[in-house]
Amino acid sequence: MSTEENKALVRRWEELWNQANLTLADELFSPIFLLHDPSSPVEIRGPEGYKQDIIRFRSVFPDLHVTLEDIIAEEEKVVARWTARGTHTGPLRSFPPTGRQVTLTGIDIFRIEDGKIAEEWSNADGLGMLQQLGIIPSIG
């Protein structure tokens, strides 16, 4: 696939998160997909694992909206800088809902293989999110 086709595939990833159309995961992710995310409490593999991750995250932030800020591609890799906004209305691990709105930023790197996302490295500002929720105090 061309770099433009790879970028278009990642733009559909944004659509997957915003619309929670879980059948889209089958189109986007390879059966061998693996998510590398140091903040994830579970290993996420394949389209089914990704669907469960979306369900889990949207149960905490049901009004979640993701905006792709930048997309850069070279060969089989696509880098996306994104911003997500949502209201904390469900339990986040052991923390009860706060009703607060948060803005979470992150950068993901996607590896495309045979027209599907085969790997994703995700790094988000979880500390900033926990501070916005009042779970961890802000410094200063």
Sorted by where each begins, the domain ranges of the chain are 3-132
CATH T-level fold of 3-132: Nuclear Transport Factor 2; Chain: A, (3.10.450)
What is the C-alpha separation between 17 and 139, in angstroms, rounded?
A: 31
- For the entire predicted model, the pTM comes to 0.93
Model confidence pLDDT, tens digit, residues 13-71: 999 999 999 999 999 999 999 999 998 878 999 999 999 999 999 999 999 999 999 99
Model confidence pLDDT, tens digit, residues 87-124: 999 999 899 999 999 999 999 999 999 999 999 999 99
